[in-house]
């Protein structure tokens, strides 16, 4: 089954659970995962859906045993386990990142929508930061040209945003940001 077919099927089956309108493109995946080849420690992907970013993470040379996926849709989890042997796939929400037994996380790749959702920003990005290495980073897709986490929340979380760029080859066109801890 193609990513688009699987995605549409799950969108119709559980419309509140699948929040994007289409699977992310390979071009967005490349921008989201740029730099992972230099990251040490575990890598976590939250909201992997059909595995568009997962494939790109592995293409960067990340060994499957270093990658953990957090996905709430059980059908997506089954597909991800089948498609990516050796990758740890957990049927859990992104908010559980502190409870999965990982510390020193080198990077988080996020397909979870956080724009204009302060509670989700605290629960997802804030909790991820608690288990990330000091030099770790959080890569986030958004459909807005502005950082999906505003300056006040960035200050609260102790992060700064770096704009990685826009990808026209996506439905809808996407923007990618990376968040890093503010080093004192």
Is 107 within a domain?
yes
Angle at 113 between CA 132 and CA 8, to 5 degrees: 125
Is 8 within a domain?
no
Strand 67-70 with 88-90, pairing: parallel
- Reported as a pLDDT band with limits 50, 70 and 90, residue 23 is confident
Strand 88-90 with 132-142, pairing: unpaired
Is 6 within a domain?
no
Q: Of 2-16, 87-101, 124-138, 167-181, where does mean pLDDT reach its minimum?
A: 2-16
Number of H helices, E strands in the chain: 7, 7
Question: Which CATH number do you get for residue 133?
Answer: 3.40.50.150
pLDDT at 3: 58
Look at the chain and report how many structural domains it folds into. 1
Mean pLDDT of 11-39: 78
Is 80 within a domain?
no
Is 78 within a domain?
no
Q: Which tokens belong to 94?
A: 């992104």
Mean pLDDT of 72-101: 96
Is 109 within a domain?
yes
Domain range enclosing 45: 19-70+85-181
pLDDT at 123: 93
pLDDT at 145: 93
**H or E element, residue 105:** strand 105-110
pLDDT at 14: 54
Is 13 within a domain?
no
The model's pTM is: 0.90
Is 2 within a domain?
no
Mean pLDDT of the residues in the chain = 90
Give residue-wise pLDDT tens across range 134-177. 999 999 999 999 999 999 999 999 999 999 999 999 889 999 99
């Amino acid at each position: 089954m193609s990513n688009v077919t699987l995605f549409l099927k799950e969108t119709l089956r559980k419309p509140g659970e699948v929040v994007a309108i289409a699977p992310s493109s390979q071009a967005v995946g490349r921008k989201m995962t740029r730099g992972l080849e230099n990251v040490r420690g575990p890598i976590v992907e939250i909201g992997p859906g059909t595995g568009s970013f997962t494939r790109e993470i592995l293409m960067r040379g990340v060994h499957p045993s270093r990658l953990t996926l957090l996905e709430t849709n059980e059908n997506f989890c089954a597909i991800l386990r089948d498609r990516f042997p050796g990758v740890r796939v957990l049927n859990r929400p992104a908010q559980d990142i502190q409870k999965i037994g990982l510390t020193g996380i080198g990077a988080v790749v996020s397909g979870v929508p956080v724009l204009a959702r302060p509670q989700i920003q605290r629960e997802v990005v804030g909790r991820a930061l608690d288990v990330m290495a000091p030099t770790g980073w959080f890569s986030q897709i958004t459909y807005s040209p502005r950082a999906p986490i505003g300056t006040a929340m960035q200050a609260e979380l102790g992060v700064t945003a770096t704009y990685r760029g826009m990808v026209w080859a996506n439905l809808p066109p996407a923007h990618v940001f990376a968040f890093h801890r503010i080093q004192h």
